[in-house]
Structure 1
Amino acid sequence: MSVVNVSLQVIPVVTEDRIYPVVDKVIEYIQNSGVKYEVGPMETTMEGELSVLLEIVSKAQEICVASGASRVLSVVKIDYKAEGVTMNEKVYKYRK
């Protein structure tokens, strides 16, 4: 399968002072997953095989609940082309 991009925004339903610590646990999981990723102010974008990235999305929900969230709202965006798509091809001209 080709390389795709998946962006994930998790919004754990916790008290306001717990939002960042819960999101940080999800980002730590993504960091340790071995996939290429970029953290943005509103979402984290990952690059890799679709099945691997969707597994990360699934695990992110579990991490939030295990961290005390009573509910998790997630926004997932998938950029898929049969020949593959990279983050770099979309943003290289904006990088310094």
Structure 2
Amino acid sequence: MKNSLVSIQIIPKTKNGEDVISYVDAAIAVIEDSGVKYEVHPLETTMEGDLTELMNVIEKMNEKMIELGSRNVISQVKILYQPSGISMDQLTEKYK
């Protein structure tokens, strides 16, 4: 059972102050490639899965930013850890 929801906002420091949208797109591609369930929102992306797996995805996202030429990366992360299981739908179904 999936035990965590993790939201991340990734903020890469670009080489020459260029727009970060292509970097954010690449970070979301890392999530997509991981196979975890996720939803993109205007200011962050939320993933659903096992906490260890999701933290590994975040590590790969940060590594991708450096590969693309970012000098450093700020990752703002929110974690809901619930060993009995949790899903995005559980928290948002009443709003749909």
Q: Same fold (TM over 0.5)?
A: yes
Matching residue of 2:27: 26
SS of 1:41's equivalent in the other structure is: coil
TM-score, normalization by structure 1? 0.92
> Gaps spanning 5+ residues in structure 1: where?
none
Give the Å deviation of 1:16: 3.6
**Unmatched segments (≥5 aa) in structure 2:** none
2:62 aligns with 61
Deviation at 1:59, TM superposition (A): 0.7
- Provide the TM-score with structure 2 as the length reference: 0.92
Q: CA deviation digits over 1:15-38, x for unaligned, max 9?
A: 242x00011001011011110000
Q: Which has the higher helix share?
A: 1
| Identity level (%) | 44
CA RMSD of aligned residues (A): 1.2
| Matched positions, count | 94
SS of equivalent to 2:75: strand
- Look up the equivalent residue of 2:68 and give its one-letter code: S
Instruction: Say if 2:2 and 2:48, in contact at 8 Å, map to a contact too.
Output: no
SS in 2 for 1:85: coil
Match of 2:78 in 1: 77
1:27-65 CA-partner distances (Å, limit 9, x unpaired):
011011110000011111000011100000111110011
Q: Which residue of 2 aligns with 1:5?
A: 5
Other structure's SS at 2:53 match: helix
Segments ≥4 residues shifted beyond 6 Å: none
Partner AA of 1:48 in structure 2: G
